[in-house]
Amino acid sequence: MPEERNTFVLRLSPQARQLVADQYARDNCKSQNEYIEKAIRFYAGYAAAQDGSEFLSHTLSSMIRGTMHDSENRMARLLFKLAVEVSMMTHVLASGLEITDEELSRLRGRCVNEVKRTSGRITFDDAVKYQRGE
């Protein structure tokens, strides 16, 4: 059973009329009428999305805030665990080494400068080479 259609007058500028004539076949439409109907449906969806932009922006910002909060919590937990491991390693090393306060202060200054200079990209291999004087 064919779909019921209503006829009405549509006034178009010559440029718009030519655009429809040139484009309908490229859009795989069987007729100019089908092309115009698709264009109306597309624009109606676009206009509805514009009306919903306020709602969407609040929804998206809420989702992004939630995702960021989850990421912050995950990073905080990982940093805490890392700090605990570093503390344990530091205590193990300190218990086996005899180092003066002056040497410790110089080492801290050198390490701060090294972290700044390398943006925190320090490897164990680099530390070993430095300690060996390479």
pLDDT band at 62 (very low <50, low <70, confident <90, very high): confident
Structure tokens at 130: 């430095």
Do 39 and 64 sit in the same domain of this protein?
no
The one-letter amino acid code at 92 reads: V
> For residue 56, what pLDDT is reported?
62
Assigned domain for 3 exists = no
> For residue 12, what pLDDT is reported?
92
> For residue 53, what pLDDT is reported?
61
Assigned domain for 8 exists = no
pLDDT band at 2 (very low <50, low <70, confident <90, very high): low
Name the residue range of residue 109's domain. Answer: 99-134
Average pLDDT over the chain reads 86
Assigned domain for 44 exists = yes
Structure tokens at 51: 């009306």
Q: At what angle do helices 32-51 and 14-23 cross, to 10 degrees?
A: 110
Q: How far apart are CA 8 and CA 111, in angstroms?
A: 81
pLDDT band at 48 (very low <50, low <70, confident <90, very high): confident
* Average of per-residue pLDDT across 48-61: 68
**What total of structural domains would you count in the chain?**
3
Assigned domain for 92 exists = yes
- CA-based nearest residue to 12, from 46, 44, 35, 45: 35
Q: How far apart are CA 23 and CA 17, in angstroms?
A: 10
Do 57 and 87 sit in the same domain of this protein?
yes
Structure tokens at 20: 């429809």
